[in-house]
Amino acid sequence: RILSVSIQKLKESLREMALLVGEQLHERYLYQRSALARQFPFMMGNDVWKGGGALKPNDKVGSVLDSGTLGIGFIGGHNAMYALYGMGHGESTAAWETLRECLVVLNEVAGEMKAKYHLNYSVLATPAEGLSGRFTKLDVKRYGKIPGVNDREYYINSFHIDVKEEVRIADKIRLEAPFHALTLGGHITYIELDGEAKKNIRAIVKIVKLMKDNQIGYGSINHPIDTCRSCHYKGVIYDRCPICKSEDIQRMRRITGYLTGDLASWNSAKRAEERDRVKHH
């Protein structure tokens, strides 16, 4: 009973927060309308926002902005479920269902905002590069350290299964796929492979097929690529290059939707997350 009250409370506060965010996005939109076309040379020059190409440099962008999107993002689905169930949605079906219901709430709010302002509101499954570490710090200050909830440097990306959880490839895809249809502003599901992936084309084809069959909107297979800066050898390099013994290694990883030039350029929260990621089998 206590749990069902907590779930109800969570959904109510989620709704309240999403409405606040929706209104804030609208306020920002009103302000941005007053910007001038020349402030967005790429967007206007390429007519990315419909009608933008026809504006003169000193015209206000105005209604051209209407074809942009207003995203309501979220992180830490896993952490929130852990707070309620002592387990994430990768382990508990009840937690999975609760997280799904939370996403339904966010979509309801996005729908209401759309109807109210006739703008493209959407729910966004975000990795929140900056917030991922900032929110945990703020929450520790406010609530103290809660094991499993905010005791790491980062919150888990959107609806993703905990990066530390040993979950089978097929299960990860099956559990995350239904959330893609509920996050139309953007989403991704990763499978982490070890460095031997490129030798096993069949396994990769199988994973892609599984993603397609489960209606994953955007799927990604991550595997590490290290490059020796001295002799340009590529592969998985542990301490030093197997060819020339150099220790000057560029470590390419995919942490969020795009490839990073080098791991060293990421903030500490995201680097900590990368360190914790388990490989999937």
Residues that bind Zn ion (CB under 5 A): 228, 230-231, 233, 241, 243-244, 246
Closer residue to Zn ion, CB minimum distance, 205 or 244: 244
Minimal distance in Å, beta carbon 229 to Zn ion?
8
Minimal distance in Å, beta carbon 232 to Zn ion?
7
Closer residue to Zn ion, CB minimum distance, 209 or 229: 229
Closer residue to Zn ion, CB minimum distance, 29 or 233: 233
Closer residue to Zn ion, CB minimum distance, 146 or 244: 244
Minimal distance in Å, beta carbon 251 to Zn ion?
14
Burial-class residue 43 by CB neighbours within 10 Å (0-12, 13-18, 19+). Answer: middle
Closer residue to Zn ion, CB minimum distance, 198 or 234: 234
Locate 239 and state its tokens: 């301490």
Minimal distance in Å, beta carbon 255 to Zn ion?
24
Closer residue to Zn ion, CB minimum distance, 210 or 249: 249
Minimal distance in Å, beta carbon 163 to Zn ion?
30
Minimal distance in Å, beta carbon 227 to Zn ion?
9
